[in-house]
Structure 1
């Protein structure tokens, strides 16, 4: 990072700028534009405005984006490792406005100004410094709204001065430690007593020896799992003993933490536990060890400190080297690397007053959080790798977010991702759900996310996140993070008042709930069609869905995670055949290929106030009205099939509460047979002489009426191929149903109605009728009292309008609900104008 410190100069004032950010100027009109006008025809090897590769971060702000924070982070595609950049931000797309801001001497392809931008339209561009001057790329417009949150890059002179010179510096600096000690003697005494008792049982135990080098070949995976399972627990105890010593003063536990620190940091940092030999042990060692050392430093002699710190510094430098090699700011799509900015940042905070390089490390780690973090999500808060990995990686991140805020006052929770991501947990991994799709670790219970949600609730003062933590039964007070975030004054609030549907388009997720927060009434639907595809800990599950009701899984994602790339994991868990999607001639989507992704092409919720419905109906925003509307999601997954499909558009209309009408429009490059998949915990009943499928997981049940194609071959099995390896520990078979077309064809359509209900209440389900209109197909749902819903899907993509069930529409999907008297009560049209009655000719 550059560390030159200078001033921003204007004709009116001089204002200081954060160090480490390069040289910045605000020019008078046209003063600096001569740099851009220098003749550089034929400049070798310079490619400005290059499209980002799949493994590179896109330009940000994007063209026309309305940002949430000011200033926004600026990201561009690198021009080369040794390039020096210039960034310009202006009110004018010609960059000749008086308030044009120019930042020069930048060594990285990301930048965050130290001053906010006023509301209004802005333009930005980047340039590369050459021997002939600066060559600029094109202007990109963006808008700063009036309510944008200020989020300038920190002034590090001021931030570092706030970090205390005395220890502890991590989490419990200053008066926070005394407050925690008071809680430990009072309301948190049971949790701390439990922590101390657990630590006492570990005192003096033999410690695991330094592992050897990782083998190659088929033994590599099991070996790595064994190393993690044998080295992580004693390192966890190291941190817990140090925490117990810090809070309670238990000297015996302090010395146990010291014993473990000296043992683990005697391992050769250039040997088998080097980051570049096998990254898991050194990352865990530094994560736990940095904190434990900060809290027990007073127990070490000068010579002992020198030995520990020398080892730590080598390991921290390895983290930095790996981040810079990628480089993380433009190419962060390496799962394990996502932990390193936080680990490096914590280490920098701990040694900020001892190691001169720690300041640059802290600035760099924070810059990555401001700009490129996370790799696996966007501003909407979604996460590519599934709730299991989200929970783990948020634990890693929140330690740094919390430590940085406590020590310096720099609040990373202002970042849109961090403010929105608790709702990813709330909507996709509600505490009473039975499993956690989609991604590795999906068989785990969402209750394991409770502690992360507690920390989010404190940092964001979010009562809905606190509700999740309470419902999950999160244990608070026996670990550093929850102690640091302990805030008993915040009350939980049920999410029942939140919208029932939410989307996370950056990762292609759409979530519907009928009664979010109420286990006994809630029916949920989750669909995924991710632009990331099946890379990293994501799966080849584009256009897959899952359904849960009353806390029980009905349509589920299957497969276990013995270790990354195990035969079961590779051939089943992350394969399309493990989820509720579609195969083509028995073949699924391509896993672990960047271009083999999907995307969420449509989303609409009853609460969104869409264009459909009369003005009177749109004005009725009562809870009863909103809960009885329609939700809609649409995904396209054809690119995931490596050329076998030209189209796989999945449409889902949720007729609240708990009826899902799904239409799949498939077109293959060659005549093919298509397999429609359904997975469940229990055997699926196939009603004889029909295409009705019944799923029961008491007290929940679901009838699936597969209306199209009219003839399919149905089979099911409860076997995995291959079975999970023994390292998966306890595992259970699930059931896997296939409904296959019988004749090869270029095109086919599946139309299914999922009727979710409480077991024993089948009599209240509506009658389902197939509708085949002009250029559209659909269903009519008729309740016992005569109320009806007509839901149709366009099949003719060329016609200006199509009709289905007597309703005309110009868009792709229509839905019209009428009460028993024939009065319209709910409407949906996507996209386009509301549906209306077709003229009777």
Structure 2
């Protein structure tokens, strides 16, 4: 038997009531949110214990600077007019609680500070202060215990890093003194030929211009949000294509030193440098693209540029980089996860800053900021390795997650991939989307992720080589065995091309344990995700389910799907989240993709979960082994009116109305705890919902399919049988409840999916297909219970209905289930295997698993959260 996988985290909390609650078996949270769009607490929190990395001190911005987010593409940033160049903070830390001796005191321009040397083990005290008119307003004293541990992640200071930065050029995409050797080593690698093929084709291809941006649909759009989104998309169509072409020329020059590539590349960059001044060019990705090209050209072509060309590029880098830094400065470092910045633009400013360091005075500040904000906040933004924005948008971060730390590693000689986050992130990348399979179904645009794309495979390939992780290596080998040149598809992909990394890195894929050595399930409590499999070896026979209940709520690209699950067979979805991500705040996208009605969870009187960090869930308990798995999600705080200032503003900009008619109203939910028990490798799961409101309400149980219609059978009055199918598999859901259910199925969306944005290059707008939606509605009740048995299996082997025994127990597939479905009495269930020595008991206060004579008692535990 494989080892039981149990994941635990140090418990920390910002609120005294949370600390008190952790002593209870069942934690009842009263916080409006667990995570904040902008930092609300200092870090490390008071009484924290840090043993895995060097301490980075971080604290909230001044209240007059606390701008929540970058608005939608094309809208102006509505940041209060504070001269951020004059903002100063003071920090002091000591092992003396009275700050009388051994005090280190520093002034900083940003609300964070990374000590140049790691703090010695022991108890430390620290304070931050806001400096105004020469006076310091000190915050409260925080205590942190630093523990020693072998392998603790302690990267070097910026001063140590810069001491190793070469003075000459190129110094970013390669070091000048390694250039000849790099060219020789690259000749044996396929990626070299890929770049040269593309560059040779570019030499025969006329450039497009910003005058080629298609504006024909602007007249048909109805508000500023749509116009800006459309122009952003159409201008990116031109600029991204020309970026790829020009980058191919730059890479080809670095690979060959053939002047034909350099001369054409220089010409194109100088033409493109001013494109951001065109009125039809919108969005920060376009601005960062032009900064990237200017800085790449400056560094890579340095010895071929004349003085005038160098000045032109430096002037453009100064303006573009300055605007980007001004946007980040005293905002980004406090932000929960500013998507575009962490995805691409911070990486681009980082590389630009190092490319002109010493040649442009402003780069001193940019380098300082980029390096130290990385140490303070990245790569993961939380500790468990998960990615709260979901699988589709996760891969947009790929180059950032590899290229930035790889560059720092090359410069410093320190292994930035020894950050323990990366090992957790490998598990996220694997468990949320196994080989050749659909993604777990979380985050905007999740439906588009039908199998691990070439970017994802390239990412796992890089991490396998850099960290020695053999599970990632096996994932890559399995993929390339089927399609040997699969990673070529990512060539020159703006967010995800790692071909250049593979030309630089000569580490081989490691050998060792493969995917079949992984556990059945994995839980990411800080992110709020879980997934379980039955078969790592053959995707065609794998039954999988995923689950989300997240402290991040539904902000950013996350969805309002707390306590929602999805099921899969053979790598294809069955019961699965519905709706289409047309645009970030498009009305259909908000009401039928982000909103709770789109997911396999619960509505209350037809009302859903809040949009924003306020609509949160969390995972209090979990357990994973081969014989049994268990996840408890708590969405008791997720429901109610939308109150987030950020999302209210976005709603106004996009004409999205958070009304009862659209699914948001006063909150009546007191308790929504959903238990899912994974019954070994049978493809069976047991779902138990304990529900309580402050008055009698209708509870609406939701299921959705996206590939085929569902069938609903109510012939047995003891349960409702709902079946989802795909080409080779089925999920049969048997729904039991406290009372009689009224059921409804439809193939219509609440609000139609109209494609006004995503035309192909010929201007054709593809229609979005409808999905299928099942709702089971209870009579009005203040307390209610649902129990669902879901059997996910091969379609050719039909499922047998559960057997109801004379004593009320349910027998299914070698398991006996006792469950309290009555509205009175404590919520409870007991499940045991008739074939293995394993059982699970839930009686409210605790969940107890007995497996092979070992007992595990689970009570609620809060995950460690930072923002």
Q: Same fold (TM over 0.5)?
A: yes
Answer yes or no: is the 8 Å Cα contact 1:125–1:137 preserved in 2. yes
1:452 pairs with 448, 459, 468, which one?
459
Counterpart in the other structure of 1:200: 200
Counterpart in the other structure of 2:306: 301
From the CA coordinates, give the structure whose radius of gyration is larger: 1
2:88 is equivalent to residue 71 of structure 1: no
Q: Map of 1:214-613 to 2, 5 A cutoff?
A: 216=224, 218-267=226-275, 272=279, 278-324=283-329, 326-331=330-335, 333-338=337-342, 339-373=344-378, 377-409=381-413, 411-443=415-447, 444-448=449-453, 449-473=456-480, 474-475=486-487, 481-485=498-502, 486-491=505-510, 493-516=513-536, 518-591=538-611, 593-606=612-625
Q: Distance in 2 between matches of 1:288 and 1:797?
A: 66
Change (3 A) 1:408 1:331: same
Q: Map of 1:612-651 to 2, 5 A cutoff?
A: 627-642=626-641, 643-651=667-675
TM superposition shift of 1:735: 3.7
Give the structure, 1 or 2, with the largest relative contact order (CA under 8 Å, sep 6 or more). 2
TM superposition shift of 1:101: 4.5
Q: Distance in 2 between matches of 1:512 and 1:142?
A: 36
Counterpart in the other structure of 2:183: 181
Answer yes or no: is the 8 Å Cα contact 2:123–2:143 preserved in 1. no
TM superposition shift of 1:757: 1.6
Aligned to 1:737, the other structure's residue is in SS state strand
Aligned to 1:716, the other structure's residue is in SS state strand
1:713 pairs with 739, 742, 750, which one?
742
2:794 is equivalent to residue 790 of structure 1: no
TM superposition shift of 1:827: 6.7
Q: How many residues align?
A: 736
Aligned to 1:353, the other structure's residue is in SS state coil
2:180 is equivalent to residue 144 of structure 1: no
TM superposition shift of 1:378: 0.4
Answer yes or no: is the 8 Å Cα contact 2:785–2:823 preserved in 1. no
Q: Map of 1:90-101 to 2, 5 A cutoff?
A: 90-91=94-95, 93-94=97-98, 100-101=102-103
Q: Which deviates more from structure 2 when the two are superposed, residues 194-203 or residues 643-652?
A: 194-203
Q: Distance in 1 between matches of 2:35 and 2:847?
A: 37
Q: Distance in 2 between matches of 1:336 and 1:585?
A: 36
Q: Distance in 1 between matches of 2:35 and 2:793?
A: 47
Change (3 A) 1:290 1:495: farther
Change (3 A) 1:226 1:758: same
Aligned to 1:202, the other structure's residue is in SS state helix
Answer yes or no: is the 8 Å Cα contact 1:172–1:484 preserved in 2. no
Aligned to 1:641, the other structure's residue is in SS state coil
1:113-158 CA-to-partner distances (Å, cap 9, x unmatched) read 12123444544443456767774513333342423514145142x4
Q: Map of 1:606-755 to 2, 5 A cutoff?
A: 606=625, 627-642=626-641, 643-657=667-681, 658-680=683-705, 681-690=707-716, 691-720=720-749, 721-725=751-755, 727-728=757-758, 733=769, 735-755=771-791
User: What TM-score does the superposition give when structure 2 sets the normalisation length?
Assistant: 0.77
Change (3 A) 1:183 1:102: same
Answer yes or no: is the 8 Å Cα contact 1:272–1:278 preserved in 2. no
Aligned to 2:105, the other structure's residue is in SS state strand
- Cα RMSD for the two superposed structures: 3.4
Where does the alignment leave 5 or more consecutive residues of structure 1 unmatched? Answer: 1-50, 607-626, 774-778, 819-823, 833-841
User: What TM-score does the superposition give when structure 1 sets the normalisation length?
Assistant: 0.79
Q: Distance in 2 between matches of 1:387 and 1:737?
A: 23
Counterpart in the other structure of 2:793: 757
Q: Distance in 2 between matches of 1:803 and 1:170?
A: 59
1:777-799 CA-to-partner distances (Å, cap 9, x unmatched) read xx64344xxx5443647988986
Q: Distance in 1 between matches of 2:811 and 2:756?
A: 47
Answer yes or no: is the 8 Å Cα contact 2:158–2:368 preserved in 1. no
Q: Distance in 2 between matches of 1:351 and 1:596?
A: 44
1:241-300 CA-to-partner distances (Å, cap 9, x unmatched) read 21022113343333332222011113365x6489xx632311122234433442233332
1:458-490 CA-to-partner distances (Å, cap 9, x unmatched) read 332322223333444442695573332444522
Counterpart in the other structure of 2:162: 160
Aligned to 1:244, the other structure's residue is in SS state helix
